[in-house]
Amino acid sequence: MAAKKKSGKEKEIVIPDRLYFRIGDVAELCRLPAYVLRFWETEFPQLKPVKGSTGQRMYRQRDVELVVRIRKLLYDEGFTIPGARQQLKAEAAPAKAQNALPFPKKPRQEELRRVRQGLREILGLLSSPPRAKRARS
């Protein structure tokens, strides 16, 4: 019998809509042994599944998505572990930079003077007595 050739792209991993996954569920879903997941927890600081009251690792949805991303970087794209770690940091960095709003550091003194002067003029108009209407001739 001839061995089956792997296609260039494996079947896409579909993550079920659940709150928590046990390590065995994640291992089966991602087609990885559980010890690989435990090893990746030591190598990737972003991967931190919570441990339940029984001490079993409970992966959240975002943890599973991260495992799928790490798997893709290492197995499909050919990254080394340090390279994948660096790539994940680089992917997370732009998201933080986009949160900053572009406010000016210091208001300009001249602009403040103009605003104050405009407010004084408005105050003067509002506080002056109303003018009498002139009769038209």
Q: Which tens digits make up the pLDDT trace of 1-15?
A: 444 334 445 567 888
Flag whether pLDDT at 105 surpasses 80.
no
Strands in 57-60's sheet, in edge-to-edge order, are 20-22, 57-60, 50-51
20-96: CATH number = 1.10.1660.10
Position 91 pLDDT exceeds 70: yes
Q: Is pLDDT above 70 for 53?
A: yes
Q: What is the reported pLDDT for 128?
A: 79
